[in-house]
Structure 1
Amino acid sequence: MLKKVAPWLALLLILSLLAACSQGKGKSGASSDANGEVKLTFFNTSAEVNSVFEKLFETYHEQNPKVTIELIPTPIGGAQLEKFQSLLASNNPPTISNLDPGTILQYKDKFLDLDSEKSKYEGLTKAGAVENALLDGKFLGIPWTAQGYGLLYNKRAVEEAIGGTFDPASIKTRDDLEALFQKIQAAGKAPVMLHGADWSLGAHYLGLTYSLQSKDVDTNLKFVKGLEDGTQSLANNAAFNGLMDTFDVLKKYNARSKDPLTADYNKDSSDFAKGNAAFYFMGDWTWAVIGSLQGRDQDFGVIPVPISNNPADYGNTQIAYSEPKLLAIDNSGSSPAQQEAAKKFIEWLVTSDQGQKAIVSDMGLALPYKDVKVKSTNVISNAVNEYVDQEKTINIGVINYLPQDYWAKTGASMQKYLANVIDRQGLIDEVQAYWKSQAGK
């Protein structure tokens, strides 16, 4: 005859079994145990550098044997947000996520508030890096890379056309720029390359409208809200009209004027790198195309997009600059041990020799940090950093608060304007109609 098990003993057995099943397993799928061993997961949307991160995780594990980091890769250019959303929905969030600031803002309640780390990173980073990374005033993501854009120039092509040394500081106004373009054209060269893709026209060019209203992100966001509720108008807005007056100059001297919407990124970048256009409205990320290009020129730089004929106007001496990706730490399923380990890894990533070499040399990216020991081979990024060091940048942080489709929708309108399908008023009507459609969303 089987003996009955005392109720208190049965309960104890059940609790023991539950504890054994759950030991070392957090909701994030990243484990920690009593021996101090911690497993982290890393969700990466910079898919082109997955292999570099994997090598970094191995190096870090060698130095910190109790910490293991597993990569959650994403495909280049596709379904990244959907994959992140599915991990959240399955209650299996990554410990660390490399995300666009706008995505972190969208899911801000899922991430750890890093206010305790803020002063440390303010000391480590260049001026404005932490401030520009704040989302709703909170430090939810640590900046690890930075990008800038404006009018890139091919030094050889410009100087051959003008017959002398080019001083980038000599271009202070729109008229200065057009006078230079006239000289370049007279020498038989194409003055400028305009890439006709919606992301370049809608986000990078027209998007400057929202950032040039002031140096304050909140003020710029209020301007956008004004476009939504109809209290603001582009027709009489100085920054918008100044940008579009300059765009008319770029359009007039565009190397692709006969077929402006072809938008072949590799060809446009290659032609600029080989001197078939003296200037190129683009960012330092184009180095991924031209850095290893055979037969390219060697010296490149960047100047601001002048938006008026008053040199003192905001934007005429500054270039657009941002931290396009931030590293956020999960707060919805990770244990305190995992969170602390994640903080230590991120700090190692951006400050150690191995981390900096991987980011600057292997990934070809710029670090917005003061003490970077590795010299970048990205000539354009180095030129951007000169503006950063002089604090001559435009804070484009307002874009983190804009709808996901703003650049595609308004970029399509910019494409019509570039191809002379609509005029300035037609552009204003279409862009304002888009913003009004966002009211209340």
Structure 2
Amino acid sequence: MTLCLVLLLSLLAACSKGNDASSNTPAATNNQGGEPTEQTEKEVKLTFFNTSAEVNEVFEKLFQTYHELHPNVTVELIPTPIGGAQIEKFQSLLASGNPATIANLDAGTILQYKDSFLDLESEKAKYEGLTKPGAVDGALLDGKFLGIPWTAQGYGLLYNKRAVEEAIGGAFDPASIKTRDDLEALFQKIEAAGKAPVMIHGADWSLGSHYLGLAYSLQSANVEDNRKFMESLQSGEVKLMDNPQFNGLMDTFDLLKKYNARKSDPLVADYNKDSADFAKGDAAFYFMGDWTWAVVGPLEGRDQEFGVIPVPISNNPDDYGNSQIAYSEPKLFAIDNAGSTPEQQEAAKAFIEWMVTSDQGQEAIISQMGLSMPYKDVKVKGSNIISDAVSQYVDQGKVMNIGVINYLPQDYWAKTGAAMQKYLVDKVDRKGLADEVQEYWEYQGRK
């Protein structure tokens, strides 16, 4: 009996050890290929606040894939409507004490609520190694790494290769446009061939943020210098009418106005029509960004080859801006530090890294969302030809960091864009435009 009892106790002990080992055995996934690697027993729920509302469904499928690979981690989408009151919803979640674990937000919004987000300094070196040069620096907010870049956008003068080459009767070398005079000579040839040289989209966001906003980034390649310029503009120490970058930019805008395909009715601002007409060659150039591929890509009967050149602002090819296109990371992934547990924060870091480095994440972002990623090891080939053209400038270091816009008031583009619209239709002259924009910034300085 004694011997039987000893054997029974030994067997029970062995079973207990086996059960313990089974419960603690890692079984999650590898970031790259989805093979089992590590999983903790504790279940973690993450919530994801998304302001890229047009791709809600793509994110939800990614969350499901991650849960299948990591059964202990559940990611739940907090959707927002396209063009809806997204920031108000984010604010209400924060005020209620129930903030999202991860938020996909504009950099300016993250900066506004910086005390509510986790400082990712411990992750910075890793992402500097993963991303293209300048990507992490461009994402810094007040010098802190508060948001992980996952997509990138560039803009300038897009060109329709067929339309340009048919008009000039030969191959087009985009590197040949180094100055404003170079651009005008090209426009003259295109117009002489019976083509519209360029399309200006007349919406306030395009004119106030993307075009006039260049003036704030053209002051220096250093974002902090550009911030000081904006402070001087708000205090009245700097006058736009005396600023060479502003005047050079507006001299080029006068050229675009002169050759604008929409000059008979420049404020219609039908984004889909403007993009489609450009894609079919009704205008050789288009002041716009690579995001327009969402319209251009699926279009039937469009042309096949597109590219981008910088907006030249002077006749000195060495001036900053003449060989750089505007480039930024418009959205960042930030992790909550106001109501999330340490376990949730660590799980959020792992999930974000998986999204930007795994085959599944890159496939979703590049192929399904149609976006460009500022990462070195991108294994997925996208269909966005314009993004590919932007990437060539990025790889050569020929980009303008427009990060100063992250520090500007959220209504700046609408207010200054309205002044640009007046200038576009000749309701104000150069001085009138400068005065209206100056008044807006000095008002901001008095607030």
Counterpart amino acid of 1:193?
A: M
Rounded Cα–Cα distance in structure 2 between residues aligned with 1:220 and 1:233: 15
Q: What are the equivalent positions in structure 2 for 1:256-335 lying under 5 Å apart?
A: 256-335=262-341
Rounded Cα–Cα distance in structure 2 between residues aligned with 1:271 and 1:411: 23
Deviation at 1:35, TM superposition (A): 4.0
Rounded Cα–Cα distance in structure 2 between residues aligned with 1:71 and 1:235: 48
Matched, 1:139 2:184: no
Q: What are the equivalent positions in structure 2 for 1:28-39 lying under 5 Å apart?
A: 35-39=41-45
Rounded Cα–Cα distance in structure 1 between residues aligned with 2:42 and 2:310: 51
Rounded Cα–Cα distance in structure 2 between residues aligned with 1:433 and 1:42: 39
Task: Compute the TM-score of the two structures, normalised by the length of structure 1.
Answer: 0.92
Rounded Cα–Cα distance in structure 2 between residues aligned with 1:285 and 1:165: 26
Task: Compute the TM-score of the two structures, normalised by the length of structure 2.
Answer: 0.91
Rounded Cα–Cα distance in structure 2 between residues aligned with 1:360 and 1:440: 43
Deviation at 1:238, TM superposition (A): 1.0
Rounded Cα–Cα distance in structure 2 between residues aligned with 1:321 and 1:342: 27
Partner of 1:426: 432
Partner of 1:416: 422
Rounded Cα–Cα distance in structure 1 between residues aligned with 2:244 and 2:327: 21
Deviations 1:151-206 (A, max 9, x none): 00000000000000000000000000000000000000000000000000000000
Rounded Cα–Cα distance in structure 1 between residues aligned with 2:446 and 2:151: 33
Matched, 1:87 2:82: no
Rounded Cα–Cα distance in structure 2 between residues aligned with 1:440 and 1:246: 32
Counterpart amino acid of 1:426?
A: G
Rounded Cα–Cα distance in structure 1 between residues aligned with 2:149 and 2:41: 31
Rounded Cα–Cα distance in structure 2 between residues aligned with 1:200 and 1:169: 25
Identify unmatched segments of 5+ residues in structure 2. Answer: 1-39
Stretches (4+) displaced over 3 A: none
Rounded Cα–Cα distance in structure 1 between residues aligned with 2:343 and 2:167: 61
Rounded Cα–Cα distance in structure 2 between residues aligned with 1:89 and 1:119: 33
Identity of aligned residues (%): 79
Identify unmatched segments of 5+ residues in structure 1. Answer: 1-33
Give the root-mean-square deviation of aligned CA atoms: 0.7
Counterpart amino acid of 1:161?
A: A
Deviation at 1:236, TM superposition (A): 1.3
Rounded Cα–Cα distance in structure 2 between residues aligned with 1:125 and 1:35: 32
Counterpart amino acid of 1:209?
A: A
Partner of 1:96: 102
Deviation at 1:440, TM superposition (A): 3.8
Deviations 1:115-134 (A, max 9, x none): 00000000000000000000
How many corresponding residue pairs?
408
Partner of 1:128: 134
Deviations 1:67-89 (A, max 9, x none): 00000000001100000000001
Rounded Cα–Cα distance in structure 2 between residues aligned with 1:428 and 1:364: 37
Deviations 1:375-404 (A, max 9, x none): 110000000000000010000000000001
Partner of 1:360: 366
Partner of 1:77: 83
Matched, 1:389 2:395: yes
Partner of 2:17: none
Matched, 1:159 2:161: no
Per the alignment, in what secondary structure is the counterpart of residue 278 of structure 1?
A: strand
